[in-house]
A and B are shown apart, each in its own frame.
Chain A
Amino acid sequence: MPRIGVFVCQCGNNIAATVDTKKVAGEMSKLPGVVYTCDYKFMCSSPGQEMLRNAIKDNKLDSIIVSACSPHMHEKTFRKAAEAAGLNPYKCEITNIREQCSWVHHDSTKKAGTIKSIDLTRMTIERLKKNKPLKKIKIPVKKRGLVIGGGIAGIQAALDMADGGIEVVLVEKEPSIGGNMARLSETFPTMDCSQCILTPKMVEAELHENITLYTYSEIVKVEGYIGNFRVQIRKKARYVNEDLCTGCGECIEKCPFKTESAFEMGLAKRKVIYTPFPQSVPNIPVRDAPNCPKIQKDKCGACALVCGPKCIDFKQVDKIVTEEFGAIVVATGYQLMPNERFGEYGYGRIKDVINGMQFERLASSSGPTGGEIRRPSDGRVPQSVVFIQCVGSRDEKKGVSYCSKVCCMYTAKHTMLYSHKVHGGQSYVFYMDIRSGGKRYEEFVRRAIERDGAMYLRGRVSRVYEKDGKVVVQGADTLSGSQVEIEADMVVLATAIVSRDGADSLAQKLGIGCDKYKFYNEYHPKLRPVETVTAGIFLAGTCMGPMDIPDSVAQGSAAASKALALFSASEMTREPITALVNKTTCNACWDCVIACPYSAIEKDGVKNRQGTVVRRLAKVNDGVCQGCGVCVAACRSKSIDLAGYTDEQVFAAINAF
């Protein structure tokens, strides 16, 4: 006979107002197997827990029930208390008589509430009788971190993890780390030069003993689970031997062919063998194979002739490596919405209509004009520039519904940079609202307007067209209620920040969620902002949505600290609520394999002594199983059960009703 104890909580008046707790306890004491009952004002208080512990010891209880609030609130508390008194924690069950009973009853005679509480508690007692002691699952943790994406967010995450003593692999798909920040000229609100604050971090990442950089690489496949991910990474052929290359740049110098530079966003050309920008990390050139005549038709080969250490390798092929990690930080960043969608602004047709990132390149001292603001069509210094904000942002019809968050700020920055570089030049800004929430941000915008003389016009632009070498902008000034027409020399569009092409396929590989704009979803927008629903995978930076550098860096650090917490022990424990396969009845139909949303079930086999597989059957991976129970419902031969929620337990509870 079991020795069960029942503890009924009054929760002050929360439960006691509509439930007669004394009566519930009294009724329960009549049931076979129940040897101790009581009710108490606050079971979760210290004296309440102590009472529970003592009752277990004094009455030699082998299992207990606490009828109180939702198990989400205090299941942990009471299981701990039970464990302290020598019980297996899974021999403690909670009956929810608050959220699901007392709170939904208003009857001060306590009749309905009491009857329901008695029913619920009785059901739990019968269920508890079938409870088996369970053991927490321990899984080993591989103490290595993977960071995907080498923008500022990813670099920060890698550095913090590495400083914490963890080996980190940083995978970047471009030939250099740095991301979008490497393109920026100066940065709001302090106007420090982007390269000057970024490159030290890039170099630190390159030289850090705990960091391995895989640039020009991409993720092929991700398997496994928290603490134990197996990741296949494709290292794309650079056609340059990375181990030998000294980064002298001779090959780039001598390469006779040029093509469009993606880094300069169409404003300049680069060689076919190239590094994206002078401060690239690593400083090892990459061959743009589709444009290289040597690769395509076996002509040229100038680079191989001049390379001292003989590292040019025309036969190099992609390499796939498989590595193991305990945690993954995803920091794949953003891109700008293709402006071609906005025909009314003439982007793509009118040369002197550019986007914000192109303006950054014009203003950057390492950019195609050496930091002089010169317009793309004829290289003249524009005497007037119109900036148009919210191009695609906050525009459900043609663009995206959200605010891109940083464009108000960088447009103010652009007007300042422009007025500092072109004395006497006039800038105009068409805006919908000015959103400058952030430390010293509003002051920054005021400075652009008041000190640097940017003319802010509240309204939208309807059309941009070319006339006699000018770019004419027609729009509305809604504050004065008039139509305006400005003959400018150049137009800059603050285009919406959107997710990267391919963000969704990476999400699929990782098993994380994304929203309708393909930005990655955090576990909880307020309380778990850098975690994903998949344990062990964390997020940082603009892959989650538009944000500025300070926020991206903060998130990089936050994601790293989450990973470091995981790495702080060599094993992690998990709740043992996982699926169990009955090996004798499983007939290998694989319905569960298809049903499992977490890919936690493998097709396994039983081998004989000779090592040949004699039977096939399903095997649940405890590390991955989330205990959702979908497979239990899917299995036609009833060969899967959920520990802690077996059919036997559930039916016992139902039958007791």
Chain B
Amino acid sequence: MKIPYYPGCTLNTFAKGFDSSARQSAQTLGFELSELKQWNCCGAAFPLTPDNVMGLTAPAKVLANASKDGAEVMTLCSVCYNVLKRTNKVIRDHRERRRVINGFIEEDYDGSLSVIHYLEVLRDKIGFDKVTAAVKRPLKGVKTACYYGCMLLRPFEDMGIDKAEAPVIFEDLMKSLGAEPVEFPNKIECCGAHLAMNNEDVVTRLSGNVMKSAVGMGADIIVTSCPLCQYNLEKSQARVEAETPGYKGVPIVYFTQLLGYALGQDVEGLGFGESKWDARELLKGKVTA
């Protein structure tokens, strides 16, 4: 099975490990990520005013190109997923805006693509039971905090991947790998997002709340599907550690990295970056196989 794949800029640069671990895991599970022939940046933010059509042109171009490669397009980055899925809906549902957008990008795209996430492929096309069957190194005893953030789930009437207020898709995946997901209250809270650029204090506070609540509930490791969350959490963790008595940092990784590890891939190929909180050590210590 070949699935048209939109990596997005971050996975091509900053989050290479997310990309490579996803591709390898796909192979093990019997499907292939076939990168779109032509793609550009998704714009990285969905415009919040309905008349900002300009902000929709970049993702529209991605979608228009993707529609030439197949009936669906899959992404990994939560932000890309959010922007593409919502833009697609606008193009599909609003005739007038569709006309203006197509005019700008010189395409004739109607919104018929279905925009899906890697997690959905695992859940709906492969099946978590099949994933379990393929596991070589069960993540027994690894207490994972599944951090959804905002972009994957909200607004829920547009995203629809899972219940916005009580999602389970991440936890279900982690269970299928043998890990023990822990419930923590901040799992769908914001990390601070783009404020990383101009207000580090806010980001540290919000990301800190996420990490403290996860670790407080006993998590060994935090998994995410968003490069921005990963960046914000990782970057804030040193300060949180310094300022919070008793807080000890944990690795913050992409879910595909744990997936790849459980499926038995070589640890070094999974793109765990250099980090003070190294997932490899944790996994080595916990998982013996």
Contact = CB atoms under 8 A, between A and B. Distances in A.
A349 interface: yes
Contacts of A465: 183-185
Residue of A343, A349, A463, A472 ringed by the most chain B CB atoms within 10 A = A343
B164 A343 contact: yes
Contacts of B216: 467
Contact of B165 (A342, A466, A474): A342
Q: How large is the interface on A (under 10, 10 to 19, 20 to 34, 35 or more residues)?
A: 10 to 19
B166 interface: yes
A343 to B, nearest CB: 3
Nearest to B155: A397
A576 interface: no
A463 B186 CA distance: 9
Contacts of B165: 342-344
Contact of B166 (A349, A466, A467): A349
Interface in A323-365: 342-344, 346, 349
Nearest to B187: A465
A342 B163 CA distance: 9
Contacts of A466: 183
Contacts of A342: 165
B166 A474 contact: no
A343 B166 contact: yes
A474 B184 CA distance: 13
A647 to B, nearest CB: 45
Interface residues of B, number: 10
Nearest to B185: A465
A475 to B, nearest CB: 12
B217 interface: yes
B185 A474 contact: yes
B186 to A, nearest CB: 8
Contacts, number: 20
A474 B183 CA distance: 16
Contacts of B184: 465
Interface string A446-463: 000000000000000001
A463 B210 CA distance: 14
A344 B166 contact: yes
B185 A472 contact: yes
Nearest to A344: B165
Contacts of A346: 166
Contacts of B217: 467
B68 to A, nearest CB: 37
A359 B147 CA distance: 33
A465 B164 CA distance: 15
A87 B71 CA distance: 78
A584 B216 CA distance: 88
Contacts of A344: 165-166
Nearest to A349: B166
A349 B168 CA distance: 11
Contacts of A472: 185
Interface centre among A465, A472, A474 (most CB of B within 10 A): A465
A465 B216 CA distance: 13
Interface in A259-298: none
A603 B166 CA distance: 56
B190 to A, nearest CB: 12
Interface in B185-215: 185
Nearest to A347: B166
Nearest to B166: A343
Contacts of A343: 163-167
Contacts of A349: 166
A367 to B, nearest CB: 28
Contacts of B183: 465-466
A161 B185 CA distance: 56
A472 B164 CA distance: 19
Contacts of B167: 343
A474 B188 CA distance: 14
A441 B184 CA distance: 40
A250 to B, nearest CB: 45
A467 B217 CA distance: 8
A463 B185 CA distance: 8
Contacts of B166: 343-344, 346, 349
Interface in B153-176: 163-167
A571 to B, nearest CB: 56
A472 B213 CA distance: 12
B177 to A, nearest CB: 22
A342 B166 CA distance: 8
A440 B68 CA distance: 69
A472 B216 CA distance: 14
Nearest to A464: B185
A463 B188 CA distance: 10
Interface in A454-494: 463, 465-467, 472, 474
A231 to B, nearest CB: 42
Interface in A162-218: none
Contacts of B163: 343
A476 B217 CA distance: 23
Counting chain B CB atoms within 10 Å of each CB, the highest count among A349, A467, A472, A474 belongs to A467
B231 to A, nearest CB: 25
Nearest to B163: A343
A281 to B, nearest CB: 40
A474 B186 CA distance: 11
Contacts of A467: 185, 216-217
A474 B167 CA distance: 18
B157 to A, nearest CB: 9
A344 B185 CA distance: 10
B175 to A, nearest CB: 15
Contacts of A463: 185
Contacts of A474: 185
B260 to A, nearest CB: 30
Contacts of B164: 343
A343 B217 CA distance: 19
A340 to B, nearest CB: 9
A467 B184 CA distance: 9
A273 B217 CA distance: 44
A342 B167 CA distance: 12
A343 B163 CA distance: 8
A349 B183 CA distance: 11
Given A343-B163, A343-B164, A463-B185, 8 more contacts: A342-B165, A343-B167, A344-B166, A346-B166, A465-B183, A467-B216, A467-B217, A472-B185
Interface of B: 163-167, 183-185, 216-217
12 contacts: A343-B163, A343-B165, A343-B166, A344-B165, A344-B166, A346-B166, A349-B166, A465-B184, A465-B185, A466-B183, A467-B185, A467-B217
Sort A-B residue pairs by CB-CB distance and give the 3 closest, nearest first.
A343-B166, A343-B165, A465-B185
